[in-house]
Each structure stands twice: as structure tokens, then as C-alpha cells.
Amino acid sequence: MANFQFPQQTAFYKGKVRDVYTVNNKWLVMVASNRISAFDVILPEPIPYKGQVLNQVAAYMLDATKDICPNWLVDTPAPNVAIGKKCVPFKIEMVVRGNLTGHAWRTYSSGKRILCGVTMPDGMKENDFFPAPIITPSTKAEEGHDEDISKDEIITKGLATEEDWAVLEKYALALFARGKEIAAKRGLILVDTKYEFGKLGDEIYLMDEVHTPDSSRYFYADGYEERQASGERQKQLSKEFVREWLIANNFMGKTGQTVPVMNADWVQTISNRYIELYEQVIGAPFVPQQLSDDETHERILQSLKKNGVV
């Protein structure tokens, strides 16, 4: 993927899956690549159309939740590009969990009942619904692994004030409820997700991607109860199948471990799963688009000019 240059560009950051350009210190151009990461490690092979899927699902969900809280997005001039307002980010991720799955289940099955200061009830099985969604925040690490953190630690460390935390909590739970409503209409259960927030002046904005396969986990609603009753694995749409494949191949991002080889068939399988999630969540066929770097660059420039950025 090309490294672009824009008028009045003031910074560039290459994230795990996105290239982020800062323009005039006030705007962000986010280019979603086809890179894929798991356990905070970028895997060796790109996934066709993954960037487009992430960008378009995020744009759809940001539009569908803009009545709940303000968000950063202003334009999506290309299939894998989003342009929006630069906020001062909170260095935490608001992880909301509706079901006992993934990291929460691994914690629970080890015998622990407290995660990020939240007590999980006894007697639960993997993938059961919590009595009500819980928030289990994590730190937003500049490098390496994100770490679990509690509400009290967040406030004590100055990562958010009590007043800001109250708003973050309200927004996160309301966004999760909306996400579950949208998912239910498509025959899905939004299982867990993460939100990132920032401030523009005194106002809190929702940032980054929302309810995408990289930030969220979905189960198919049809047959969920039966699978729970029989102890079967839930049928899901998310990136978890990639993590499970890595774990099965003895890789969890730990020092000394080697990322397993990703052959062409496996890469195509991952791409197909991302497209499946797009079509299931959006309720419309996925239309693959591949623009040249020059055309992408030109579309971004036109959008920046249209919005008075440059």
C-alpha cells in the first residue's frame, strides 16, 4: 500500500491495520489496509478486500449511531478510506461484553470471577449471556499488548475523570444496545465489542471503527439456544476463527513463538469470512472495489478540498 503525501500534512502513523495521516493537526485520513493482526501481531499475508470491508462496515455503523453520540467521521471518499476530525484520544478501550466469550471465558475458566473490577456470576457456561452487558476496559498500548484495567484504576491513573467516565460508560452501553438491535434484525447476536473515544474541546466523540469484524464478535442467533443446551460451539462471525487457528498452531503472540504459514487457500477463506460478515451485517451484497493508488490519492485530495481542510 502506497505512502501518500498531502498538503499541510503534519504527521503519519502506521498502525497494525491502518495508515493514519494527520492534516493541519485537525483532520485524520485513515486508510484501512488489508493487513490483519491477532494477539497484537501483524500476520504475514494481506487479506483481499479486508480494508474495504472494515471501512464500509464502520461507516455504516457510525451513521447508524450518530444520534447516540457525536463521532469523528466526515467522509469516506474511497472504499478503504475515512476522513474525519482529529480528537485527543482517551488511552483506554471500552470493551463491552454481552456474553461470556473469548478473553472473558479464558479468565472465567481459569477460576477467576473478577475481570477489570467487574464480578462475573458463578455457574455460567461459555457463551452464556451475562445478566446485563459488562464493561471490561483495557489500556490502549502504544506498543505490545493492551492490558486489562478497572474503572477505579482508570480514574486513579488520570486516564479519565469521574465525569468523563460516566459519559464513556453511558455512550458505550447505549452504542452496544444499538449494535445488538441492528444485529438482531440481521439474525445475529452482537456478543462483544470495543469502542474508542476522544475529546474535541470539552465534547467526547466516538472514534475509529465501530461494530466491525475486527472490533466485534457476532453469533448467529438461529440455533443459539440449542447449541448452548447441547454444549456445541456457537456459529460465529468475527476474527476469532483466526485467533483459534493461531492457537491451534501454537502461536499466541508470545516471545519466541513463530507465526504459522498462511497458504493461499487459508488467506482466501479469511477474505470470504470478512465478506460474509459484511453481507450479513449490512444486509446487502458486497461490491469489491479496487482503486489504483493514484485514484485513491486524488479522491482523498478532492474530499479534503471539499471539506475546506486544504
Among residues 187, 210, 189, 181, the alpha carbon closest in space to that of 280 is found at: 187
Query: 174 in a domain, yes or no?
Result: yes
Among residues 90, 35, 30, the alpha carbon closest in space to that of 56 is found at: 30
Among residues 21, 16, 57, the alpha carbon closest in space to that of 33 is found at: 16
Q: Is the full-model pTM beyond 0.85? A: yes
**Rounded Cα distance, 5 and 1, in Å:** 13
All three cell numbers of 150: 478497572
**Rounded Cα distance, 21 and 83, in Å:** 9
**Rounded Cα distance, 67 and 61, in Å:** 11
| Out of 29-38, 52-61, 198-207, 231-240, least confident range | 231-240
**What is the DSSP code (8-state) at residue 223?**
T
Query: 163 in a domain, yes or no?
Result: yes
Backbone angles phi, psi at 184, to 5 degrees: -60, -35
- Domain count for the chain: 1
Tens of pLDDT, residues 39-68: 889 999 999 999 999 999 999 999 999 999
Single-letter amino acid, residue 74? V
User: Residue 151's domain is classified under what CATH number?
Assistant: 3.30.470.20
- Report the percent of the chain where pLDDT is more than 70: 98
Which ranges in 65-161 belong to alpha helices (H)?
Answer: 102-109, 151-156
**Rounded Cα distance, 143 and 297, in Å:** 29
Tens of pLDDT, residues 164-215: 999 999 999 999 999 999 999 999 999 999 999 999 999 999 999 999 988 9
Cα radius of gyration (the chain): 19
Query: 68 in a domain, yes or no?
Result: no
Residue 276: exposure state from Cβ atoms within 10 A (0-12, 13-18, ≥19): middle
**Rounded Cα distance, 99 and 273, in Å:** 22
Structural domain of residue 134, as residue ranges?
Answer: 89-241
Query: 44 in a domain, yes or no?
Result: no
Query: 274 in a domain, yes or no?
Result: no
Query: 218 in a domain, yes or no?
Result: yes
pLDDT at 143 (0 to 100): 59
Query: 246 in a domain, yes or no?
Result: no
Query: 24 in a domain, yes or no?
Result: no
